[in-house]
Amino acid sequence: MEARKSLIKIKPKRYKNGDIVKVSFMIMHPMYTGASKDKKTKKIIPAKYINSLKFIYNGKEITNMKVWESVSTNPVFTIYMKINGKGKLTVKYTDNTGESGERSKKIKPKG
């Protein structure tokens, strides 16, 4: 399967060590609740939703989330993170059908 499209955004774009930045993770995922019907076939669409997220900064898990089906389609998750050295931030996800994936972003503090 083609990798699911996702994105990590850090605000502000320029930051230095010690700064607390906003981190947003976005992913194209249908987040089907299992209760909706396909408009064309009238069949129930089976549940498929992200159920777990982990935010890992330089090998250390700083935040994890248990996600439920009421989170919107193409979800966005935002937290804060304290910048503490260069390296990378990885967000790992799994969904209720066993699909999993990850997205990383380089962390490059200025000064």
Contact residues for another protein, defined by CB under 8 A? 5-7, 9, 11, 20, 24, 26-28, 30-31, 33-35, 44-48, 51-52, 54, 57, 60-82, 84, 94, 96-98, 100
CB of 111 to another protein, least distance (A): 18
Q: Which residue has the tokens 């194209």?
A: 28
- Distance between CA atoms of 45 and 31, rounded to whole angstroms? 11
Nearer to another protein, 40 or 66 (CB): 66
> Cα 27 to the chain's mean position, in Å?
6
Give the CB-side neighbour count of residue 79, counting CA atoms within 13 A: 15
CB of 109 to another protein, least distance (A): 14
Nearer to another protein, 30 or 108 (CB): 30
